[in-house]
Structure formats: C-alpha cells, structure tokens
Amino acid sequence: MNRWVQVLVILALAALVVWWGVGVFRITNNHDFEIFYQAAERLRAGENIYAESPAFRAALESGQFNMGDDSIRWPYGNPPLLAILTVPLTFLPYEVAAALWTGLTTVLLLGACAAVLAAIGRLDWTGAVVALVLLYGYYPATVCLRLGQVEILLFLLIALSFLALKRGQDAWAGVALGFATAIKFFPGALILFLAWKRKWKAAAWGLGVAAVALGASILIAGPKNFAAYTEAWSVYAGGAFSAFPLNQSLNGFFSRLFRPNIFWPTLRGLQLPGLATGLWLGSAAVLGAALAWFTRKPVDVRSPRFDLEFAAAIVVLLLAQPHSQVYAFVWLLLPLIVLACRVVSTYPWSWLEAGALVIAYFMLGRQWFQFPPIPVRFVRSHVMFGTLLLAALAFYILWRKLPAPAAQGGER
C-alpha cells in the first residue's frame, strides 16, 4: 500500500480515537479517583483510609443502598500502595489533580497498547491500525477513564511485563507484575501463571517485589489501616455486592441469578447463594483446568504460542476472580491485539476465527442496551459473555492451530 495512503488511514483512525476521547472527557466524573484522592489525604493526616467501609456494608446489608445517593460514601477498597502513590497529587487542588490523572491515564493507555504491539513485533502500520480500531469506543476503557480508575496503570504494568518476557528480561517482567500485585492483588495470578510456565526467575522477582512493596506500604500506612482493609475487601469479595451490575466475572453473573441483592431480582425469585458460589467456583475451576491443559508444555517465549497463552491467562483471570468490574476488562486489549494481529496477518483468513473475534469484541467492547428480543439478563452480562467467547477462541487456536514447540535455550 502506498505510504501516503497508510499515513492518511492512520490519521483518520487517530482522529476517530481523539473524537471518542473528547466524548469520554465530557462525561468524566472521576468518581473513583476522588476516593483515591480522599484516601491519600487521610493518609497524610494519619487517619483511617478505610473509614467508610463499615457504613457502606451496613447500607448494603440493610437494603438502603442507592447508587444515586451521594450521602453514601463509597469506601477505598485497595491495598495502601495506591493511596501512597496518590499522595503527591494531594498537594494540588482536587480539580487540577483529577484533570492531571485523566490526562496521565490516557497517555498510559496508549503506551500500554504500544508495549503490546512491540512485544509481538507489530509496532508498525498494521499493528497501529489494529490498536486504533480496537481502542475506538472501547467500552471498558470508556468506563475506566470516566471514573478515573487505576486499571489502565495495571494494564500498562501487565503489558510491560509481557514485553520484558518477550525480550528475555525476566527480572523486569517479574518487577512489573509484582508492583501491579501490590496495587491490587489480582494480577498476582499472572505471577503464578509464570511459575506454571517454569519462568522461575520472573515468578520469584514478582513474588519478591509484591511482598516488599506490599509490606512497605503497610508499614507506611500503619498496620491498623491494613487491618481495616480486610473489612473493605470483604465488601467487594462476597455477599450481596457480588451482584453489582458492573461486576462482569462469573461470580457476578451467578450472584445476580441466585444471590439475594439490592441491585437485581434473582431468577424467578430463587434465593440460593450456595448454588451461586458453587456455580462460580465450578466454572472457574473448569476454565482454570482448561488453561492449565493448553499451556502445560514449555514453549519458547518468542513464539506466537506464548503470546496466546499469556493472553488466555488474562482472559481466564478476569472471568474467574470474585469481582471484575467492567473497567478491569481494559486488560483485554492485550489478548484482543494479539488475536486481531494474528487474524489480519494470516492468509488465507480463517473466517471462523475472524468472525468469533469480531463478535466477541462487540459483545465486550460496546455498551449494550435492552432490546425486546434479547434477554435482559444476557444484556446485563454481555461483557462476560463476550469474554467467554474470547476464551473459547483462544483455546481453539491453541488446540488446532498452534503446536507447542519445545522451549529453546532454557530459562533466560
């Protein structure tokens, strides 16, 4: 293709992404960043950063919680490290700090996508087109930017870990994942995945950095603050809040079906919380077993198969963990980029793969509304169903298309 045509295509797609970004900024309320900012202010003052957790839990359990009630303060629900990292922003007025955070996370989102492209050797015209097409209007990124969430920073750290692995820099891969784990525990599952793949050096660095960063943040914030974290975390990990509409994990779906909650009526009025938990754990175990089976053989990290294995691990993690808010699915840009680049670079195209990828993307990458022919419970969990289709596609390719070559050169 003519170079000028390529430039025009890139500029047109970039303009679309910018137009989408401007639309997101217009609806940005930084609801979650305000919580981080408040926790950081309290940390500076030596106060309890988890002070809202008991009242929030009481409102949930009493049935008095209302998402539109501003008098109910949402609790800070992360380990102390995020509050510590936010402290420098508290020296700025809140409006300035929030605007700075929005701008920063936008840059980090673009940087994370570039890191994924670099990792798979697609930091070129084709890769740029793929990334821009996927970014335009991507629903989880919209929610993440609008609320001022931290998931884009975690996505960047996961992408940098992936890039370091591909370049044989296992220590740095572990450092990135360890730091992400200290901010929010869930990325730690990817450290365990690296251990499963016999990337011992990366896994050791990940566990070490996570332990040191978490331990240091506990000491800085104060042990009493961390003790209060268990109360804050329990609000999000179980009980009625599992049915929160934005929770797109398997636990969220089954909780909305069978667990008594104030967000959504259970299926035919059934109240079977034990069944909800059993279905969640059972389906998560099936996905985990499938991931373990398809990734059981050692592979060269430079191979396309490793790219897909790492991508599949992210997909399974988001489905299996207790609480996966919609904005956490911004991490799925990594497997989406990996799969999309594979589809567009493989000729003749597999229309099965391309069709499944397009359907999965529009299920999880766009916000759906209720239409009469579509069951509303399906619409409520459309991100989860799209992610399940993405997992099925990844497993299909690993089974049929990508043989597992032996690892080359041993541990690096």
Query: What are the tokens at 189?
Result: 């599952």
User: Cα separations (Å) of 267 from 63, 126, 254, 373?
Assistant: 19, 46, 10, 18
Question: Which is it for the CA torsion 317, 323, 326, 331, positive or negative?
Answer: negative
pTM: 0.94
Q: What is the band of 410 on the pLDDT scale with cuts at 50, 70, 90? A: very low
**Which of 408, 334, 315 shows the shortest CA–CA distance to 160?**
334
Domain boundaries, the chain: 3-400
- What does the pLDDT read at residue 213? 95
pLDDT of 286 over the 80 cut? yes
**Mean pLDDT (the chain, rounded):** 89
Three-state DSSP at 64 gives: coil
* Reported confidence tier of residue 60, pLDDT bands at 50, 70, 90: confident
Of the chain, the percentage scoring pLDDT greater than 90 comes to 69
**pLDDT higher than threshold 50 for residue 245:** yes
- Of 72-76, 111-115, 403-407, the one with minimum mean pLDDT is 403-407
The confidence band for 411, taking pLDDT boundaries of 50, 70 and 90, is very low
- SS3 at position 118: helix
Which of the listed ranges 140-144, 229-233, 263-267, 352-356 does the model predict with the highest average pLDDT?
140-144
The per-residue pLDDT for 158 is: 98
